[in-house]
């Protein structure tokens, strides 16, 4: 197999990129009043407009060729049908089965996983109904008021993002909290206003041996027992979600209170599994299933739609276009919806843990750039923080803008103001403002001020995608998340990397385990490099002070 960069399709893209160096989006829109129709797609209530990208019809077809020649179709099928595409860990990758509402069999090692999935969903329904209907009572006979999800990475970010996004659907009898950081501030400040009698802890961890989660879970247990001095009460106040029930039982949680999932669910793709229990408790199981339904419909679109009309494929290809042919290093996620305030944080793990790789599937170093840096925050806040750099800085930053046409709330004016900004920013990025336009707008006396004119010029020609959807419902959110997951898959498939392991997080964990015992004695440490030794010894001095 030639390296990706030596393939004819890649070389055609290199030549094409050179040939359209002077491509100008303003001109493209002026010349083609149908550009929006040509480069936009509708999926249910989601409009995906990608017309403000540095592309022509030829670019799209060359990118689609790249996907075709990368055997993307067969790779998609391999994922959906349970092949062990996470080859370094010999695991299937089946978050799509978790939301397979059609219930068609999905086989792993000759076993249909759908029946296990449905059993766990049924167990989640019974449990969430009981808690939400105040039938699940704590040790002192009181219903649950506060739920604390203790988990980190995929066992935190997905549930926290979705539970926050779906707040308008939340029960007003329950407060859901998320604790992830081993920094005690997180746990202490979360627990401060809570009462053990009415608190339910969910310990969420795929492996159930993650240092941060186990430390937080033990401290939560101590906090609980300080208030309710009865080990038997744990059964009514602690539940666990894990693929390792033996570790849960060892921790002391009642086996009845274990919600299972499986090793073919990656941590960062796990919100669709029982890891989503906190979401289901917050919004109810019907809404959780709507979330699954939205993702399932996006899965069908991804699996069955030709690449040139396939939203996640186009998203993935556009990312590759800027990442590999324009040298863009990052990608901004800019939701004009405060409910999506953790969307970017969630995608940072999904994308960067998946595609932050520098060897290909054969173990060879790649000679091309892989996963982008994902960053961003909701508009309009970001406009008053970092948009300056996107508009007038020296870096090319492709952006995704997302917004609902309808808010869940009804204050006058707010939503139209929000949406006017959602529409204006991509327009400004694309259109820019020329020196002639600046001069025409300046008062007479400033028109010869060359410095002022230069500082007010916006280069424009900056690419973005826009997603406009009806309302942030559970179903629409499910579809949006699934689109991003599949975008990551498309890029990993074309870059020929394993998007489903995360070996890069290991080394730091191993070294922390070496350092921890060194912090617990009074000796001067000299076994590391002089910087690490210096920091350890300074910490020990400061800590004593």
State the minimum distance, in angstroms, from the CB of residue 267 to ligand F6P: 3
Q: Is 139 helix (H, G, I), strand (E, B) or coil?
A: coil
Of the candidates 438, 432, 423, the one whose C-alpha atom is nearest the C-alpha of residue 462 is 432
**Candidate list 59, 70, 180, 205; residue touching ligand F6P; CB under 6 A:** 205
Distance from the Cα of residue 205 to its chain's centroid: 18
**Candidate list 82, 267, 335, 372; residue touching ligand F6P; CB under 6 A:** 267
For this structure, is 462 an active site residue? no
Question: Is residue 487 a contact residue for ligand F6P (CB under 6 A)?
Answer: no
Q: Find the radius of gyration of the CA atoms of the chain.
A: 25
Residue with smaller CB distance to ligand F6P, 87 or 173: 87
Q: Which parts of 268-287 interact with ligand F6P (CB under 6 A)?
A: 268
Measured between alpha carbons, how far apart are the two ends of the chain, in Å?
Answer: 61
| Piece of 6-14, 131-139, 203-211, 440-448 that binds ligand F6P (CB under 6 A) | 203-211
Q: Which parts of 136-175 interact with ligand F6P (CB under 6 A)?
A: 152-155
Residue with smaller CB distance to ligand F6P, 157 or 399: 157
* 374, containing H or E segment: strand 373-375
Residue with smaller CB distance to ligand F6P, 149 or 210: 210
Report the 10 Å Cβ neighbour count for 214.
18
Of the candidates 333, 371, 432, 322, the one whose C-alpha atom is nearest the C-alpha of residue 59 is 322
Q: What is the DSSP string of 463-514?
A: -EEEEEES---HHHHHHHHHHHHHHHHHHHHHHT--TT--GGGHHHHHHHHH
Is residue 9 a contact partner of residue 318, using CB atoms and an 8 Å limit? no
525/509 Cα distance (integer angstroms): 19
Question: Is residue 210 a contact residue for ligand F6P (CB under 6 A)?
Answer: yes
**Candidate list 287, 347, 502, 536; residue touching ligand F6P; CB under 6 A:** 502
Catalytic residue chosen out of the listed positions 37, 192, 362, 384: 384
Alpha-carbon dihedral sign for residues 519, 521, 527, 532: positive
Alpha helices in 147-244 (DSSP H): 157-165, 184-191, 211-227, 234-237
* 107, containing H or E segment: strand 107-108
452/438 Cα distance (integer angstroms): 9
State the minimum distance, in angstroms, from the CB of residue 209 to ligand F6P: 7
State the minimum distance, in angstroms, from the CB of residue 273 to ligand F6P: 11
Question: Is residue 213 a contact residue for ligand F6P (CB under 6 A)?
Answer: yes
Residue with smaller CB distance to ligand F6P, 132 or 221: 221
State the minimum distance, in angstroms, from the CB of residue 49 to ligand F6P: 32
State the minimum distance, in angstroms, from the CB of residue 506 to ligand F6P: 8
Binding residue count for ligand F6P, defined by CB under 6 A: 14
Residue 216, CA distances (Å) to 148, 179, 190, 419 in order: 11, 8, 11, 41
Q: Is 458 helix (H, G, I), strand (E, B) or coil?
A: strand
Look up residue 241 and give its DSSP letter. E
Catalytic residue chosen out of the listed positions 104, 142, 509, 513: 509
State the minimum distance, in angstroms, from the CB of residue 342 to ligand F6P: 15
**Candidate list 20, 71, 137, 207; residue touching ligand F6P; CB under 6 A:** 207
| Close Cβ partners of 44 (under 8 Å, ≥ 6 residues apart) | 294, 297, 475, 476, 479
For this structure, is 408 an active site residue? no
Residue with smaller CB distance to ligand F6P, 289 or 353: 353
Question: Is residue 206 a contact residue for ligand F6P (CB under 6 A)?
Answer: yes
Of the candidates 304, 306, 278, the one whose C-alpha atom is nearest the C-alpha of residue 291 is 278
Residue with smaller CB distance to ligand F6P, 268 or 462: 268
Residue with smaller CB distance to ligand F6P, 243 or 479: 243
Look up residue 309 and give its DSSP letter. G
Catalytic residue chosen out of the listed positions 260, 289, 297, 353: 353
Residue with smaller CB distance to ligand F6P, 180 or 324: 180
61/224 Cα distance (integer angstroms): 60
Question: Is residue 294 a contact residue for ligand F6P (CB under 6 A)?
Answer: no
| Piece of 71-79, 122-130, 206-214, 387-395 that binds ligand F6P (CB under 6 A) | 206-214
* 200, containing H or E segment: strand 199-204
Question: Is residue 499 a contact residue for ligand F6P (CB under 6 A)?
Answer: no
What are the E-state strand segments in 419-483? 464-469
333/336 Cα distance (integer angstroms): 10
For this structure, is 384 an active site residue? yes
State the minimum distance, in angstroms, from the CB of residue 203 to ligand F6P: 9
Residue with smaller CB distance to ligand F6P, 50 or 500: 500
**Torsion angle, alpha carbons of 392, 394, 400, 403, to 10:** -20
In the stretch 26-65, what mask flags binding to ligand F6P with x, by CB under 6 A?
----------------------------------------
Phi, psi (degrees; rounded to nearest 5) at 532: -65, -40
State the minimum distance, in angstroms, from the CB of residue 266 to ligand F6P: 7
In the stretch 327-366, what mask flags binding to ligand F6P with x, by CB under 6 A?
--------------------------x-------------
461/432 Cα distance (integer angstroms): 7
**Candidate list 19, 505, 512, 538; residue touching ligand F6P; CB under 6 A:** 505
Residue with smaller CB distance to ligand F6P, 160 or 206: 206
For residue 380, say if its preceding peptide bond is cis, omega within 30 degrees of 0. yes
Query: Which residues are tagged catalytic?
Result: 353, 384, 509
Binding site for ligand F6P (CB under 6 A): 152-155, 205-207, 210, 213, 267-268, 353, 502, 505
């Amino acid at each position: 197999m030639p390296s990706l960069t030596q393939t004819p399709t890649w070389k055609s893209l290199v030549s094409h990129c050179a040939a359209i160096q002077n491509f100008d989006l303003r001109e493209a829109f002026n010349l083609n009043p149908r550009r929006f129709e040509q480069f936009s797609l509708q999926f249910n209530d989601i409009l995906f407009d990608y017309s403000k990208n540095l592309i022509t019809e030829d670019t799209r077809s060359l990118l689609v060729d790249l996907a075709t020649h990368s055997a993307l179709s067969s790779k998609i099928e391999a994922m959906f049908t349970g092949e062990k595409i996470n080859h370094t860990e010999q695991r299937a990758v089946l978050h799509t089965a978790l939301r397979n509402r059609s219930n068609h069999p999905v086989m792993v090692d000759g076993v249909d996983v759908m029946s296990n999935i449905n059993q766990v969903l049924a167990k989640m329904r019974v449990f969430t109904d009981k808690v939400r209907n105040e039938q699940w009572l704590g040790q002192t006979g009181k219903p649950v008021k506060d739920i604390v999800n203790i988990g980190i990475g995929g066992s935190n970010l997905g549930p926290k993002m979705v539970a926050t996004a779906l707040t308008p659907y939340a029960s007003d009898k329950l407060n859901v909290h998320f604790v992830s950081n081993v920094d005690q501030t997180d746990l202490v400040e979360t627990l401060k206003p809570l009462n053990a009698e009415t608190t339910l802890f969910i310990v969420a961890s795929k492996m159930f041996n993650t240092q941060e989660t186990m430390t937080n879970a033990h401290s939560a247990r101590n906090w609980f027992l300080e208030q309710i001095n009865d080990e038997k009460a744990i059964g009514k106040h602690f539940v666990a979600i894990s693929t390792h029930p033996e570790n849960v039982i060892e921790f002391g949680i009642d086996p009845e209170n274990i919600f299972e999932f499986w090793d073919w669910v990656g941590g960062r793709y796990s919100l669709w599994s029982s890891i989503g229990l906190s979401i289901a408790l917050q919004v109810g199981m019907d809404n959780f299933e709507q979330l699954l339904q939205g993702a399932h419909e996006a899965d069908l679109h991804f699996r069955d739609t030709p690449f040139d009309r396939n939203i996640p494929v186009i998203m993935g290809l556009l990312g590759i276009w800027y990442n590999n042919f324009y040298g863009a290093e990052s990608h901004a996620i800019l939701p004009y919806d405060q409910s999506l305030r953790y969307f970017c944080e969630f995608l940072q793990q999904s994308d960067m843990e998946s595609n932050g790789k520098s060897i290909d599937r054969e173990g060879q170093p790649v000679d091309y750039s892989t996963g982008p840096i994902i960053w961003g925050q909701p508009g309009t806040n970001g406009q008053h923080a970092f948009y300056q750099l996107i508009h007038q800085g020296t870096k090319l930053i492709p952006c995704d803008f997302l917004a609902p046409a309808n808010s869940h709330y009804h204050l006058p004016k707010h939503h139209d103001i929000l949406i006017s900004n959602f529409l204006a920013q991509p327009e400004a990025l694309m259109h820019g403002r020329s020196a002639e336009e600046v001069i025409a707008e300046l008062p007479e006396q400033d028109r010869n001020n060359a410095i002022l004119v230069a500082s007010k010029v916006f280069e424009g020609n900056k690419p973005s995608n826009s997603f406009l959807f009806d309302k942030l419902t559970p179903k629409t959110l499910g579809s949006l998340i699934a689109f991003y997951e599949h975008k990551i898959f498309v890029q990993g498939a074309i870059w020929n990397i394993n998007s489903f392991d995360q070996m890069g997080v290991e080394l730091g964990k191993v070294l922390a385990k070496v350092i921890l015992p060194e912090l617990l004695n009074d000796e001067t440490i000299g076994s590391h490099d002089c910087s690490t030794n210096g920091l350890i010894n300074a910490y020990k001095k400061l800590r004593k002070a």
